[in-house]
Structure 1
């Protein structure tokens, strides 16, 4: 049997090879996190993993809870990125805004695929847990409503579901009263000297957006000379990517709800599928879509 090989240190000095019990001792030391922050500590996993509290005896309620909790986590990140992107557009800082908007689009894609998991719940399985939901509904998600408002779909009636919580209402109202992503995009175009009507760059931000031929003319200048207005052209395409992903998210929501509950009314009192289908007709950035026909 060959003798153990002598190891050399970085300085060239001879050293004895490590013995097995020394290696085991070192590995145990690496696995001891009692004196430092661990993975679970950093992510607050105990709190997160104990937040699932099924109310029914049905096995499938865990799926329903985790589906919606993880969606809310993704929406928290979406709001984080979207709010920062809006601030960057308002400050004429488009490069970081592009990265953030691209990330929001990818989050929406993630949420689209999440519906595939919930769609494994069959109508009898949902019916078993529905009585335990009372009037709770995704319709009441303050984060989702804030996303809608920041993307420009303003509706004063959508403040009411959050009136029971002053803190939540304040957050939703802030998004409702502020310029949306598209409002800031149009103000940017105006600052760059492109023709933008004052009716759309200095308006009441709480009012629903109305499409304008004059706004489309401003975007057409950008799209007819993309090499001259490259960053604005890229901004337009980032907005289209974002709305494209949002439409897919909405559509997948409708089809999943119809698959699981049919045309029953939603637990929050909405028309369920009929209400969600109306949302499919909402266009967030109408002029950038229309100019594709008019180019």
Structure 2
């Protein structure tokens, strides 16, 4: 989103509507009358409330992280690297909170989780459209995953646009191309990003060439982001292993083995491999 974007007021939150609910201005502003009605356990297991609240908080943080990454992308497209770095740094703080949120789910014992797991039915965090959007923005794309949202055409259409558009790394590589470090831009695809020797060579020039401090800062900010993605996946894997072992995922995934494969996969791969040449 460009910095000059004018935000129009949402009529649903006009003062007249605010006066209809909430005891204080703070409650009306934060829509607490709605927020605190969204936690509705389906079992009598005490631990289910912690599970619901933690996953809802994660979903809100996914949206905030998307916001920061979109700001970073727009800044990169307009050659405003300083602003892109600021957005990426804010995003890293969001990622840190996300990663820490696994501490709450780690308190669930296998007995507690198994006690309310049946009420989840086929629901699974794997089905989160907000999280999938982030994965697409990272270059971890799969058109097949859009099939999950056939019953929600608006969501499916939005995800399809992210799938086919440039991700965060694509916009960084486009900047390298404009700066003459890549012979030609890397075209964003609809599948998982594949490492490139040309991209690795470009990042090597960034780290070793003269007057590239700005782009080297960008490289490190992107790696900070990538490292936190790895931590998220590792925490996810460890938490599932702790609470349910190798049982199949409730959404039909292979559970632990799928999470282990994801945890072993790096994003922005050339930023990792180039370190061996420095």
Q: Give the superposed CA RMSD.
A: 1.6
Asked if 1:229 is matched to 2:209, the reply is: no
Which residue number corresponds to residue 269 of structure 2? 286
The question of 1:107 aligning with 2:94 is answered yes
- The size of the alignment, in residue pairs, is 258
Q: Is residue 162 of structure 1 aligned with residue 149 of structure 2?
A: yes
Counterpart pick for 2:240 among 243, 257, 282: 257
1:36–1:114 CA distance, 2 compared to 1 (3 A): closer
Structure 1 pair 36/69, CA: closer, same or farther in 2 (3 Å)?
closer
Instruction: Report matched runs for 1:1-295 at 5 Å.
Output: 38-194=25-181, 196-198=182-184, 201-225=185-209, 228-295=211-278
Question: Taking structure 2 as the reference length, what is the TM-score of the superposition?
Answer: 0.89
1:140: Cα distance to partner?
Answer: 0.3
Do the aligned partners of 1:123 and 1:261 also contact (CA within 8 Å) in 2?
yes
Contact 1:67 1:118 in 2 (8 A): yes
**Cα separation, 2, equivalents of 1:260 and 1:83:** 34
CA deviation after TM superposition for structure 1 residue 197, in Å = 4.4
Residue 202 of structure 1, CA deviation: 4.6
What is the rounded CA distance, in whole Å, between the counterparts of 1:38 and 1:117 in structure 2?
30
Larger radius of gyration: 1
Structure 1: gaps spanning 5 or more residues = 1-33
1:109-131 residue CA offsets vs partner (Å, 9 max, x unmatched):
11111111111110111111111
- State the SS of the aligned residue for 1:175: helix
TM-score of the superposed pair, with normalisation by structure 1? 0.84
1:50-106 Cα distance to aligned partner (Å, 9 max, x none): 001111121111011001000001111011111111111111111111111111111
The answer to whether the Cα contact below 8 Å between 1:89 and 1:188 also exists between their aligned partners in 2 is yes
Give ranges in structure 2 of 5+ residues lacking alignment: 1-20
